[in-house]
Amino acid sequence: MLSRAELRFAELWELLYPDIDLHTEYRFTPPRRFRFDFAFLPSKIAIEINGGNWIRGRHTRASNLSNEYEKLNLATLNGWRVFVLSPEMINEDWLARIASCIKN
């Protein structure tokens, strides 16, 4: 189930870039259970939406940060480029940058 921020991202993406199909909850490194919130497979571009920054959410606790770092490092080792967005960064400017990277 998508979070509120992920849903906002998906809706804005569909409005601006309906021709670029993103996979949701893409499991990129079996047998590990790490998943990207959104992924464009042909160019190995992933988008992670990290919320809860101001309320001590999952992405701000030490144990979860270590897992997040491991996930991002494994992604890099496997050739992925990962955009990490806070809910405040879900806007036309950042989505245009990501779309440009996907198209190039």
The pLDDT tens digits for 49-82 are: 998 644 455 545 567 889 999 999 999 999 999 9
Give 58 or 14, the one with higher predicted confidence. 14
* Per-chain mean pLDDT for the chain: 91
| pTM attached to this predicted model | 0.87
The pLDDT assigned to 1 comes to: 83
Please check the confidence at residue 27 and state whether its pLDDT lies above 80: yes
Domains of the chain: 4-103 (3.40.960.10)
The pLDDT assigned to 81 comes to: 98
* 36 band by pLDDT with thresholds 50, 70 and 90: very high
CA distances to 58, 59, 86, 87 from 54, rounded to whole Å, are 11, 10, 11, 11
**Regarding beta strands 23-27 and 45-49, do their DSSP bridges make them parallel or antiparallel, or are they unpaired?**
unpaired
**CA separation for the pair 8, 89 (Å, rounded):** 11
Give 62 or 48, the one with higher predicted confidence. 48
Is 54 within 8 Å of 18 (Cβ atoms)? no
Q: For helices 4-16 and 92-103, give the axis angle rounded to 10 degrees.
A: 60
